[in-house]
Amino acid sequence: MSTRTVLHEADIARALTRIAHEILESNRGAHDLVLLGIPTRGVFLAQRLAQLIERVSGQSVPVGALDVTMYRDDLAKHPTRAPQPTSIPDGGLDNKTVVLVDDVLFSGRSIRSALDAISDIGRPSAVRLAILIDRGHRELPIRPDFVGKNLPSARTERVNVSLTERDGRDEVSIQAREAAE
């Protein structure tokens, strides 16, 4: 398989800084804002966005993690990963603007699952979606509000996001499958 890097550390940092500013502008500040990362890398991205938002606005933003494993409608087709803990910040989600954060948006099924999970937890005033990479190929009518990079790719390609917190480096690469596979 051939792999090419499409975003480096500086590119990811720039994209996250832009997303943080867009979130603040859209929300008219950091009040009543909650960031929920979808494990695994979405949680790290949500934490980074919270730090950037605090640096810009001077206000801290609560961050949580929302595991969607048991809400997925495609568990039979894909091997199940072990569920991760869900952690909702003190104060809950009711009447807050919740920004779901994930690394890659592909079919939209993880986000649909996240919306189902949120409805079991509380009733936010609004739910927004922040994605580092939007690669297209939606199977559901889901559209991100904040995008780091649109990265058109073939269905047969794999987009890999590496983050320092988990992988020891920041980069996004596309892995193409060879014709023989």
Please list the pLDDT of the chain residue by residue as tens digits (181 residues): 789 999 999 999 999 999 999 999 999 999 999 999 999 999 999 999 999 999 999 999 999 999 998 887 766 666 666 778 899 999 999 999 999 999 999 999 999 999 999 999 999 999 999 999 999 889 999 999 999 999 989 999 999 999 999 999 999 999 987 654 4
**How far, rounded to the nearest angstrom, does the alpha carbon of residue 99 sit from its chain's CA centroid?**
9
Domain membership flag for residue 106: yes
What is the maximum span of the chain, computed from C-alpha positions, in angstroms? 54
Q: In this structure, is residue 165 part of a structural domain?
A: no
> Would you say residue 173 lies in a domain?
no
What pLDDT, on the 0 to 100 scale, is given for residue 78? Answer: 64
Q: Is residue 177 part of a domain?
A: no
Report pLDDT for 19. 98
pLDDT of residue 72: 75
How many domains does the chain fold into? Answer: 1
Q: Residue 166: how many CA atoms within 13 Å on its side-chain side?
A: 13
- Does the residue 175 lie in any domain? no
Structure confidence at residue 84 (pLDDT)? 82
Query: Is residue 132 one of the residues assigned to a domain?
Result: yes
Domain that holds residue 110: 8-156
| pLDDT at position 76 | 65
Q: For position 181, what pLDDT does the model report?
A: 45
User: pTM value?
Assistant: 0.92
Cβ 12 vs Cβ 154: under 8 Å: no
Phi-psi region of 110 (alpha: psi -120 to 50; beta: other; left: phi over 0): alpha
pLDDT at 178: 65
In this structure, is residue 31 part of a structural domain? yes
Q: Determine the pLDDT at residue 73.
A: 75
CATH of the domain at 147: 3.40.50.2020
**Domain-embedded: residue 164:** no
